[in-house]
A and B are shown apart, each in its own frame.
Chain A
């Protein structure tokens, strides 16, 4: 159920006065709301970005869900359950916010399951050890926060508002991840090794979460103008590195980048080149867990089909009964 705004505007030039008024509104830092006129490309960009975000929350349940039944203490089990539950909740908020743009959750789900829609590449990496729960919280949620805090001020009202609550929860997630890493890094040699290996696995994929470098980012310029984005991919990535390196030092763990160096002149850390081939491969379905992740979602969807059908039939019968009773 794409909105009329999308189909009608196809192939037509959008009126210059509306475009100018729209941009002026954005420049005045006023929020765009669902009923406001918006350029088709703005709507499309938001649907793409927001649905990718929602899908990432949903697929993101899986790598951490992998350790819920094996969490090493009752406290850790409860924290991890609550965290993964938060992710599902974030998915729900953002799907709802995306629906305000005239697209249904069913359609978005179908796009995820058929591979048409993308989600964050990070969730296509495996979580073979408990320490990955720490590394994900610390680095993946840490990177997500860098991306998402500016989104609290993004120009589209429903997205901005949903991000305010999500960011509060993400910050708790990041802290619990760092705390897991702290306990492991100060634990036995075996625990420390577990933590180091998880850092080695997660570091580069976490840097890739900020997207392609600015020179290769095809969506960035227009998104900045529309204030959907407020910082470039490389700016956010640098901010993340600068914040994270001292944290790793504090843990006594080594970031797996021999070229990582503090640069007095720029006031930032220099870092090695990201393996963009790997990034592109993972984005295009060739990461270690792409197939498993999507298959898990397809299985959940297929196995839940009869449940959803039952609920729908019950709902129909029930509302018919209520109506006839009322009559």
Chain B
């Protein structure tokens, strides 16, 4: 059954995983040297490092599928924005600590459920990567969840900042659960989990926390979409311009 899989579909899906991790890691890395505490500086950098590590693992699985002899670095540094497949939320600027924390929390809950599903993938190498990543995601979530609570249930300023972040981020979350026809074939082949299940687990956990924290999601807003087709926000171009500068300016060099 595995050999019948559409390799292009699988490749695009692995890019989605890798690109999400890389853009998250890149944004978190911007905190290095600028965190609110030394301990948090170390933690943010540590989480960033994990995300970039996950990106590399997903890209390795992706390049193994094509015969163009590409490397994970080629995928990271030599694709333009329209070839990136991450949802828009992961490319958003780092914002303040409340914004970074809430974004992190949404992604951590998503990743926990996603990787718990992926660890049962019929595609053994993907299951292995998910198992490894899952151990780290559990720590990420423990940390980000504790911070959301701490910010929401403390001072007025922290509460206002986390509520503002919720207003700004909430409608970027539905895109996490988008599924196209190609992905449905992967679900049918048990390569990836059912995203509807991931979505309901995500909603249950997030809504419970928001209630505990007395935070209100906004009623309406622009619902982000487009990442899977390579239609991104204005932010991704700058992220890539910065990240890809050296390999683009000095093509073909080793570093």
Contacts and interface: CB of A to CB of B under 8 A. Distances in A.
B52 A81 contact: yes
Contacts, number: 134
A310 B150 contact: yes
A300 B250 contact: no
A191 B252 CA distance: 12
A61 B49 contact: no
Given A92-B42, A299-B34, A307-B97, A72 B247 contact: yes
Contacts of A305: 36
A309 B36 CA distance: 10
Interface string A296-327: 10011001111111110110010000000000
A78 B52 contact: yes
B37 interface: yes
Interface string A159-180: 0000000000000000000001
A187 B253 CA distance: 7
B37 A308 contact: yes
Chain A contact residues: over half helix, strand or loop, or mixed? helix
Contacts of B243: 69-70
A69 B33 contact: no
Nearest to A77: B52
B165 interface: no
A296 B153 contact: no
Given A78-B52, A78-B53, A306-B157, A191 B253 contact: yes
A94 to B, nearest CB: 11
Contacts of A47: none
B41 interface: yes
Interface residue tally of chain A, by bracket?
35 or more
Given A70-B243, A73-B73, A81 B29 contact: yes
A70 B36 contact: no
Interface in B1-41: 22, 26, 29-30, 32-41
B155 interface: yes
Contacts of B255: 72-73, 76, 130, 180, 183-184
Contacts of B46: 85
Contacts of A313: 154-155
Interface string A278-308: 0000000000000000001001100111111
B186 to A, nearest CB: 25
A317 B253 contact: no
Which among A74, A91, A180, A313 has the greatest number of chain B C-beta atoms within 10 A? A74
A144 interface: no
A91 B42 CA distance: 11
Contacts of B246: 70-72, 130
A248 interface: no
B32 A65 contact: yes
Contacts of B153: 314, 317
Nearest to A63: B33
A188 interface: yes
A34 interface: no
A304 B76 contact: no
A88 B97 contact: no
Which among A58, A183, A307, A317 has the greatest number of chain B C-beta atoms within 10 A? A307
Nearest to A60: B33
A63 to B, nearest CB: 9
A70 B45 contact: no
Interface in A26-55: none
B113 interface: no
A82 B72 CA distance: 19
Interface in B93-145: 96-97
B155 to A, nearest CB: 5
A84 interface: yes
A157 interface: no
A304 B29 contact: no
A190 B255 CA distance: 12
Given A82-B49, A306-B155, 20 more contacts: A61-B41, A68-B29, A69-B26, A70-B245, A74-B52, A74-B55, A78-B52, A85-B42, A85-B46, A89-B42, A92-B38, A184-B255, A187-B253, A300-B34, A304-B36, A304-B40, A309-B157, A310-B155, A310-B157, A311-B150
30 contacts: A69-B30, A72-B246, A72-B255, A74-B76, A76-B255, A77-B29, A78-B52, A81-B45, A82-B49, A85-B32, A85-B45, A85-B46, A88-B38, A88-B42, A88-B45, A130-B246, A130-B255, A191-B250, A300-B35, A303-B96, A304-B37, A306-B155, A307-B37, A308-B36, A308-B37, A310-B151, A310-B154, A313-B155, A314-B150, A314-B153
